[in-house]
């Protein structure tokens, strides 16, 4: 579907502000100079098309129309989104944003303070639950879905299966979470297939570690709820008494081998044992396939057979790479097209988890995200971007998932981050177009959701809560009572949303962005007095079919008027004749093609020019 682009005159976000300065292409090196792998402005990585465009939603928040937003509010007070709220119109609206995949966050059943005992689900203890709604990463049953998300709780799995089919029918693919490192302290599967032994059911609890135990134990020591934990503020949670019966205590999810974890630990979770003896030099016992490996494989197969297209794997680096090296090929025997995305934060191990662990994609958080965050806050320089492609993701850029928001990170528009959603315009353009790997958008990002307010457990932290029942106000304006037409958005929000739609649709359709090579033009332009290379960033992406010039300005308040230079050797690399005349079309604004550009780089602006021979 071709997305209609607004004319330049309709834009007021600095997407394409044209002024009086000239834009020309000037040769700066001899024709004899040619590309070599040692060229410091590019890489020799062979581009591959991995341009997924992922729309992440916190599923319980996405379709919630209730706007009460009472701190620590119950499901009945604050409402909750359902699988059935993600309708055909909702999915079409997501697809019009350029998305190819939807990551439904928080699908699998997790611990919660909401009482579902009448539906046969055991009540959780508030002393080991974070937030009224509970963390979607404290899994209570790997074989079931979150009852909050169902209109008919007893029919909850069918409602999820219908959502998967509805998503596919609307031309989108489905990603769900796989949380392999830890489970809720109250884990007990009611829904596992017949004949499947539950996690921990056959463990020897008299020993701290055994290769085929599913958990780690602290024999002779009962679990102690962290001192001072107050689940619901002044309110009282279910079964709350400062105690939780677990004897012997199990190791906590963030590798804490103590019966008394601290309140800022992942105390609501217990660590799974993949055959690594953490307390004895992390010795690995993989001579026989550990039982936890087999159980996790079967859980993944269970979901793959429900037509799920991929898994976002929580805290992938906390699970041994040997497990991934074994399990991902096992799953691809079931469905070769399954996608595995790893949440990863240690740049030194990226290549290992891709090459040895067989992950399709890894988070690029500590590289590009952190660098762009500094730029958006006025604290960094574009040298951070150069460092990412030149060092941190060199050779693996095809496999790095880029993003500016997700459920763990602060909202761009929050006072804790940039305080202004327009700061995302240059940064999101770089995220989406720097390489051929996937890009992700978090729900509400496209309308500048600022995450104002203290939701309860989450507090006032610049994030949209994953622990509480809540309505997301600016997203609700786009949702417009279930029409998903943006009918309640302000003019500024519509412009921001349209920017994301144009950028991500272009990203999903452009041959140069999906498959093209990359060449940085910072060195070619740094002598221009109007080119502030700390705040401006310029590069080309090109294939035989398409040549793009991308220019962004990260400054929040300065306009620049540089004369952009594309060196003669770069023209030749792109397959262009330096002696020929060309036209330049700005694709984000869909401005008419011109032979020379009187370009003004407005504050927080982005420009993508397509270069074509003059006819």
Q: What is the CATH number of the domain that holds 88?
A: 3.20.20.80
| 526 and 503 within one domain | no
| Mean pLDDT for all residues in the chain | 93
- Looking at per-residue pLDDT, the higher value among 290 and 579 belongs to 290
pLDDT value of residue 416: 97
pLDDT in tens, 95-143: 999 999 999 999 999 999 999 999 999 999 999 999 999 999 999 999 9
Distance between CA atoms of 592 and 581, rounded to whole angstroms? Answer: 17
DSSP secondary structure letters along 439-505: EEEETTGGGT----S--SSS-SSSS--SSS----HHHHHHHGGGT-S-TT--HHHHHHHHHHHHHHH
Q: Is residue 47 in a domain?
A: no
Distance between CA atoms of 299 and 486, rounded to whole angstroms? Answer: 38
- Computed from CA positions of residues 267, 269, 273, 276, in that sequence, does the dihedral angle turn out positive or negative? negative
Q: Is residue 41 in a domain?
A: no
pLDDT value of residue 599: 78
| 464 and 600 within one domain | no
pLDDT in tens, 293-309: 999 999 999 999 999 99
| 161 and 64 within one domain | yes
Choose the final residue of a domain: 508, 539, 562: 508
| 304 and 250 within one domain | yes
| 439 and 423 within one domain | yes
Distance between CA atoms of 425 and 506, rounded to whole angstroms? Answer: 14
Range list of H helices, 216-307: 291-304
| 540 and 445 within one domain | no
| 397 and 527 within one domain | no
Structure tokens belonging to residue 36: 């070599």
Asked whether residue 23 carries a pLDDT value surpassing 70, the answer given is no
Choose the final residue of a domain: 477, 508, 539: 508
- Contacts with 30 (C-beta within 8 Å, 6 or more apart), sequence order: 568, 569
Query: Which residue is associated with the tokens 């992942």?
Result: 266
| 520 and 501 within one domain | no
* Across 412-426, average pLDDT: 98
| 550 and 405 within one domain | no
Residue 499 φ then ψ, to 5° = -60, -50
Q: Is residue 23 in a domain?
A: no
* Across 511-525, average pLDDT: 97
Choose the final residue of a domain: 441, 476, 508: 508
Asked whether residue 25 carries a pLDDT value surpassing 70, the answer given is no
Residue 370 in contact with residue 387, Cβ under 8 Å?
A: no
Residue 29 in contact with residue 609, Cβ under 8 Å?
A: no
Asked whether residue 586 carries a pLDDT value surpassing 50, the answer given is yes
Range list of H helices, 354-423: 370-376, 383-387
Residue numbers of the domain that contains 599: 516-613
Distance between CA atoms of 537 and 525, rounded to whole angstroms? Answer: 10
CATH number at residue 604: 2.60.40.1180
- The number of angstroms, rounded, from the C-alpha of 120 to the middle of its chain's C-alpha atoms is 34
| 168 and 89 within one domain | yes
* Across 192-221, average pLDDT: 98
pLDDT value of residue 395: 94
| 489 and 352 within one domain | yes
Q: How far apart are the first and last CA of the chain?
A: 28
pTM: 0.94
pLDDT value of residue 293: 98
For residue 21, name the pLDDT band (cuts at 50, 70, 90).
very low
Distance between CA atoms of 595 and 434, rounded to whole angstroms? Answer: 25
Q: Where are the beta strands (DSSP E) in 69-202?
A: 101-105, 108-110, 139-145, 173-178, 182-184
| 500 and 546 within one domain | no
């Amino acid at each position: 579907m071709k997305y209609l682009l607004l004319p330049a005159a309709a834009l007021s976000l600095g997407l394409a502000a044209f002024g009086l300065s000239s834009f020309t292409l000037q040769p700066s090196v001899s024709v004899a100079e040619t590309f070599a792998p040692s060229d410091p402005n590019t890489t020799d990585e062979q581009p591959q098309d991995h341009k997924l465009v992922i729309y992440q939603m916190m599923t319980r928040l996405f379709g919630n129309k209730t706007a009460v937003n009472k701190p620590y509010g119950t499901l009945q007070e604050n409402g909750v989104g359902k699988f059935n709220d993600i309708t055909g119109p909702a999915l079409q609206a997501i697809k019009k944003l350029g998305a190819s995949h939807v990551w439904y966050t928080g699908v699998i059943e997790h611990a919660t303070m909401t009482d579902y005992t009448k539906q046969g689900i055991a009540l959780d203890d508030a002393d080991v639950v974070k937030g009224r709604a509970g963390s979607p990463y404290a899994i209570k049953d790997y074989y079931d879905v979150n009852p909050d998300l169902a209109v008919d709780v007893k029919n909850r799995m069918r409602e999820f299966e219908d959502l998967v089919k509805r998503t596919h029918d609307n031309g989108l693919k489905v990603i769900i979470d796989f949380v392999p490192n830890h489970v809720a302290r109250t884990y007990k599967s009611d829904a596992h297939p017949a004949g499947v032994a539950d996690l921990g059911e056959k463990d020897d609890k008299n020993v701290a570690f055994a290769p085929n135990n599913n958990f780690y134990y602290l024999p002779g020591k009962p679990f102690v709820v962290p001192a001072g934990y107050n689940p619901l503020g002044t309110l009282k949670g279910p079964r709350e008494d400062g105690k939780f019966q677990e004897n012997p205590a199990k190791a906590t999810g963030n590798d804490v081998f103590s019966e008394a974890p601290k309140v800022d630990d992942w105390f609501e979770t217990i660590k799974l044992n993949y055959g690594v003896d953490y307390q004895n030099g992390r010795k690995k016992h993989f001579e026989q396939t550990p039982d936890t490996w087999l159980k996790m494989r079967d859980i993944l197969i269970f979901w793959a057979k429900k037509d799920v297209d991929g898994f976002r794997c929580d805290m992938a680096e906390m699970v041994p790479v040997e497990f991934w090296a074994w399990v991902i090929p096992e799953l691809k025997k079931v469905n070769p097209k399954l996608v595995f995305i790893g949440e990863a934060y240690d740049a030194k191990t990226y290549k290992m988890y891709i090459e040895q662990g067989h992950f399709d994609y890894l988070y690029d958080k500590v590289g590009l995200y952190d660098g762009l965050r500094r730029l958006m806050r006025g604290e960094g320089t574009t040298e951070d971007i150069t460092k990412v492609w030149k060092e941190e993701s060199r050779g693996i850029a095809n496999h790095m998932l880029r993003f500016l928001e997700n459920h763990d990170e602060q909202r761009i528009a929050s006072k804790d981050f940039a305080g202004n959603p327009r700061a995302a315009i240059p940064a999101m353009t770089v995220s989406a177009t720097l390489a051929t790997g996937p890009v992700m958008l978090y729900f509400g990002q496209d309308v500048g959701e600022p995450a104002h307010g203290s939701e309860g457990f989450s507090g006032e932290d610049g994030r949209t809560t994953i622990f509480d029942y809540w309505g997301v106000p600016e997203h609700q304006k786009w949702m417009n009572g279930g029409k998903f037409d943006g009918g309640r958005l302000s003019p500024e929000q519509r412009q921001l949303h349209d920017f994301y739609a144009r950028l991500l649709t272009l990203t999903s359709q452009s041959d140069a962005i999906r498959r093209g090579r990359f060449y940085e033009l910072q060195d070619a332009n740094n002598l221009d007095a109007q080119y502030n290379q700390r705040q401006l960033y310029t590069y080309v992406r090109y294939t035989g079919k398409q040549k793009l010039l991308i220019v962004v300005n990260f400054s929040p308040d300065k306009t620049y008027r540089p004369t952009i230079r594309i060196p003669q050797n770069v023209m030749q690399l792109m397959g262009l004749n330096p002696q020929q005349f060309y036209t330049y079309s700005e694709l984000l604004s869909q401005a008419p093609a011109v032979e020379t550009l009187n370009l003004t780089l407005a504050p927080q602006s982005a420009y993508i020019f397509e270069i074509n021979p003059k006819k």
